[in-house]
Every structure is written in C-alpha cells, then in structure tokens.
C-alpha cells in the first residue's frame, strides 16, 4: 500500500530572497503568491485529496487554504512542517548575513552546523519526514498534500534519496514548487520534484 504525498513549498511573499524570515509570525503572501496558491489549487483540483496539512506560519497556511477549499477540506496545522528555527538569524537580511563566517559554514556544511540558538537542517528534516510517514499510514493508497518551507522540503527529499543535507545546493525548491513522493510503511521514493505553476 503506497500513499502519494504532494509536498508543496509556500507561495511567494514580499520578503522572499531578501530576508531570512524563518519563523517570523506576520509574513503573508504577496499578490503574486496568492495567484500561485490559486494556480496550485487549479492544478490539483482533479485529484482526490484526502487531507491538506500545513506549517502553522501564515505564508504556508495561505498557500494551503485554497487547495483545501477546492476539495471541501480545512488545512490541518502541523507544527512538524514549520520552518527551520534560525535562532538569532531570524529576520536578518541576506546582505547582513553574507559576511558572517558562521553563515558561510552553515551553507557549506548543513549536516554539522547549527544556526545560533536554532536547530539544524537535519533536525528539521527529520521531524518533518517522521511526521509525513505517520500521516501516510492514515491515508493508505490515498493522496494528501503538505505545505512547508524550502529548506525543510529539501531535507525531506534528501532523506528520501539517501543524501546528506549537504547536497541542498544541488537542487532547487521554488516558491509554490510541487514535489511528489510515494510513501509506504518501510520506504519512500521521489516521483517528481519542483513542478512550478504559472500564475
């Protein structure tokens, strides 16, 4: 019995690629992101989704809501899908971070480095991966969606492929990017990665 997971990165917000938002509480989708979320809803409208799970952060919830509504569902908040805890880096611009040697080490060796006061990418990926495996057992032979964040999704995909999170720069997960994973009790495989909708 294999379950299909639709793993989705939240759509575009106004600070994307400029600020390391992390778990900042009030980051909402910009208008282009709202259009992306609707386009995802349209793309997935013909599937028989059994559930939609979402990170608790607004940008993820606002991406999940139209997808769920299309199927007569409410998104289910899942703390395990939330963004990496970036600790003291949260809210800093990438310009501010670029000269920080700790930041450079983090990007070179995600398997070993931890943001100051935060969690490792490996820890974030493991909590999300474990949650998704548990949820899959509740939807045998079904389809469910989960909306999360770029680095968390990269860590989950790395786990599925048996890669270290140090490989994170070798593939892209775009805003509103859709990846499809098949999960069964003792394994998983990647079906497709980073399908990007046009809005």
* Among 198, 165, 199, 194, residue whose Cα is nearest residue 181: 194
Distance CA(15)–CA(20), nearest Å, equals: 8
**Mean per-residue pLDDT over the chain, rounded:** 95
Give residue 111's pLDDT.
87
Q: How much is the pLDDT for 179? A: 98
Per-residue pLDDT, averaged over 97-125, amounts to 94
Could you tell me the end-to-end alpha-carbon distance of the chain, in angstroms, rounded to an integer?
34
Chain segment 35-91, per-residue pLDDT in tens: 999 999 999 999 999 999 999 999 999 999 999 999 999 999 999 999 999 999 999
pLDDT for residue 161: 96
DSSP string, 151-180: HHHHHHHHHHHT--GGGGGGS---TTEEEE
Helix (H, G, I), strand (E, B) or coil at 123: helix
- Residue 22 belongs to domain spanning: 3-196
Give tens-digit pLDDT for 115-148.
999 999 999 999 999 999 999 999 999 999 999 9
Count of structural domains, the chain:
1
Indicate whether 23 pLDDT > 90.
Answer: yes
pLDDT over 80 at 27, yes or no: yes
- CATH number, domain at 155? 3.40.50.1240
pLDDT value at residue 97:
96
Spatial separation of the C-alpha atoms in residues 135 and 120, rounded to whole Å: 23
**Is 90 exceeded by the pLDDT of residue 199?**
no
Residue 58 · residue 28 · CB < 8 Å: yes
């Amino acid at each position: 019995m294999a379950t299909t997971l639709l793993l989705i990165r939240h759509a575009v917000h106004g600070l994307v690629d400029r600020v390391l938002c992390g778990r900042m509480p009030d980051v909402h989708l910009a208008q282009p992101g709202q259009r992306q979320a609707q386009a995802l809803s349209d793309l997935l409208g013909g599937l028989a989704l059994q559930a939609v799970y979402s990170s608790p952060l607004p940008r993820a919830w606002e991406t999940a809501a139209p997808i769920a509504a299309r199927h007569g569902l409410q998104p289910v908040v899942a703390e395990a899908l939330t963004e990496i805890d970036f600790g003291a880096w949260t809210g800093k611009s990438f310009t501010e971070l670029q000269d920080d040697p700790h930041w450079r080490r983090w990007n070179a060796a995600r398997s070993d480095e931890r943001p100051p006061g935060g969690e490792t990418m490996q820890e974030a990926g493991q909590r999300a991966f474990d949650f998704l495996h548990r949820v899959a057992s509740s939807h045998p032979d079904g389809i469910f969606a989960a909306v999360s964040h770029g680095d968390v999704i990269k860590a989950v995909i790395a786990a599925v492929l048996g890669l270290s999170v140090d490989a994170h720069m070798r593939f892209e997960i775009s805003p509103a990017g859709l990846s499809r994973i098949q999960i069964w009790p003792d394994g998983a495989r990647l079906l497709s990665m980073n399908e990007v909708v046009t809005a």
